[in-house]
Structure 1
Amino acid sequence: MNYVAIPGSDRTLLPNSRPAGPVDLSQVAAITVRVRSGGDIAALEQEVYDQSKQKLEDRTYLTVEQLTQQYGARAEDLDLVEQYAQKHNLVITKRCPAERSIILQGKLRDLLNAFPASVRMYHHSTGTYRGRQGEIGVPQDLKDVVTGIFGFDTRPMHRRLYRRQRAMTTHDGSGPTQGVVATEYAKRYSFPTDFNGVSLDGTGQTIAIIELGGGFRQTDLKTYFRDVRISLPTVISVAVGADNHLIGDSADGEVMLDIEVAGAVVPKANIVVYFAPNTSKGFQDAIRAAVYDAQRKPSVISISWGTSEDFVDKRALRAFHHVFLDAARMGITICVASGDHGTANAPLEEWDRQFHVDHPSSDPYVLSCGGTQIGEHEHGDVVWNEVFDGDCWTSGGGISGSYPVPPYQSNANLPVSICTSRAGRGVPDIAMNATNYRVRVDSTETISGGTSAVAPLMAALVARLNQAKGNRVGFLNPFLYAHTRSGVVRDVTSGNNGYSGHYQGYQAAPGWNACTGLGTPDGSKILSNL
Structure 2
Amino acid sequence: MATRKSTPRAISQPRIVLPGSEKAPLTNQPAEVPLSPGKKITVSIIVKCRQQLKVANFLGAKRLTRAKFRQQYGADSGTVKLIRSFAKEYGLTISPDTPAPECRTVKLTGTVANFERAFGVTLTHRSFQGNTYRVREGSITLPAELAGHVEAVLGLDNRPQAEPHFRIAGERGNAAARAAQGTGFATPHALPAASASTSYTPPQIAQLYQFPANATAKGQTIGIIELGGGYRTTDLASYFKSLGQTTPKVTAVSVDGGKNSPSNANSADGEVMLDIEVAAAVAPGANIAVYFAPNTDQGFVDAVTTAVHDSANNPSVISISWGSAEANWTQQAMTALDSACQAAAALGITITVAAGDNGSTDGGTGNNVDFPASSPHVLGCGGTKLEGNGSTISSEVVWNELSSNEGATGGGVSNVFALPTWQTGANVPKPTTSAGGRGVPDVAGNADPSTGYNVLVDGQSLVIGGTSAVAPLWAGLIAVANAQNGKSAGFLQPQIYKANSQSAFRDVTSGNNGAFSAGPGWDACTGLGSPIANRLIAAVAPSKASKPGRQTKTSGKSARPA
1:434 aligns with 2:450: no
User: After the TM superposition, which residues 380-395 of structure 1 pair with which residues of structure 2 at under 5 Å, given as runs?
Assistant: 380-387=395-402, 391-395=405-409
SS in structure 1 of the partner of residue 19 of structure 2: coil
- Give the distance between the partners of 1:14 and 1:213, measured in 2 at CA: 24
User: After the TM superposition, which residues 37-436 of structure 1 pair with which residues of structure 2 at under 5 Å, given as runs?
Assistant: 37-41=49-53, 44-48=54-58, 51-52=59-60, 59-93=61-95, 94-125=98-129, 127-166=131-170, 167-168=192-193, 179-193=199-213, 199-241=214-256, 242-248=258-264, 249-346=266-363, 351=364, 353-375=365-387, 378=393, 380-387=395-402, 391-417=405-431, 424-435=437-448, 436=452
Residue 287 of structure 1, CA deviation:
0.5
Contact 2:216/2:480 (8 A) holds in 1: yes
- Give the distance between the partners of 1:7 and 1:79, measured in 2 at CA: 22
Residue 210 of structure 1, CA deviation:
0.2
Contact 2:235/2:459 (8 A) holds in 1: yes
Contact 2:416/2:435 (8 A) holds in 1: no
Contact 2:417/2:435 (8 A) holds in 1: no
Correspondent of 1:450 among 466, 475, 479: 466
- Give the distance between the partners of 1:331 and 1:381, measured in 2 at CA: 32
Contact 1:188/1:379 (8 A) holds in 2: no
What is the number of equivalent residue pairs in this alignment? 497
Q: Which moved more, 1:12-21 or 1:184-193?
A: 12-21
Per the normalisation by structure 2, the TM-score is 0.85
- Give the distance between the partners of 1:250 and 1:307, measured in 2 at CA: 18
**Unmatched runs of 5 consecutive residues or more in structure 2:** 1-11, 171-191, 542-562
Letter in 2 for 1:412: A
Letter in 2 for 1:134: G
Change in 2 beyond 3 A, CA 1:45/1:373:
same
Change in 2 beyond 3 A, CA 1:17/1:451:
farther
SS in structure 1 of the partner of residue 123 of structure 2: strand
Change in 2 beyond 3 A, CA 1:344/1:177:
closer
SS in structure 2 of the partner of residue 147 of structure 1: strand
Letter in 1 for 2:291: Y
Residue 190 of structure 1, CA deviation:
1.4
- The aligned counterpart of 1:513 is 523
Letter in 2 for 1:37: C
1:4 aligns with 2:16: yes
Letter in 1 for 2:246: S
SS in structure 1 of the partner of residue 211 of structure 2: coil
1:461 aligns with 2:477: yes
- Give the distance between the partners of 1:17 and 1:150, measured in 2 at CA: 22
Residue 526 of structure 1, CA deviation:
1.6
Letter in 2 for 1:181: T
- Give the distance between the partners of 1:358 and 1:209, measured in 2 at CA: 18
Per the normalisation by structure 1, the TM-score is 0.90
Residue 169 of structure 1, CA deviation:
5.2
- Give the distance between the partners of 2:212 and 2:243, measured in 1 at CA: 20
SS in structure 1 of the partner of residue 63 of structure 2: coil
Residue 392 of structure 1, CA deviation:
4.1
**Unmatched runs of 5 consecutive residues or more in structure 1:** 53-58, 171-175, 194-198, 499-504
Change in 2 beyond 3 A, CA 1:422/1:97:
closer
1:527 aligns with 2:537: yes
Of all paired residues, the percent bearing the same amino acid is 40
- Give the distance between the partners of 1:313 and 1:422, measured in 2 at CA: 15
Q: Deviations over 1:452-488 (max 9, x none)?
A: 0000000000000000011001111111100466401
Residue 243 of structure 1, CA deviation:
1.9
Q: Deviations over 1:112-136 (max 9, x none)?
A: 2222213222222262211111110
User: What CA RMSD, in Å, does the superposition of the two structures yield over aligned residues?
Assistant: 2.0
Correspondent of 1:25 among 37, 40, 44: 37
Residue 30 of structure 1, CA deviation:
0.5
| Structure 1 ranges of 4+ moved more than 6 A | none
Change in 2 beyond 3 A, CA 1:264/1:85:
same
Change in 2 beyond 3 A, CA 1:375/1:232:
closer
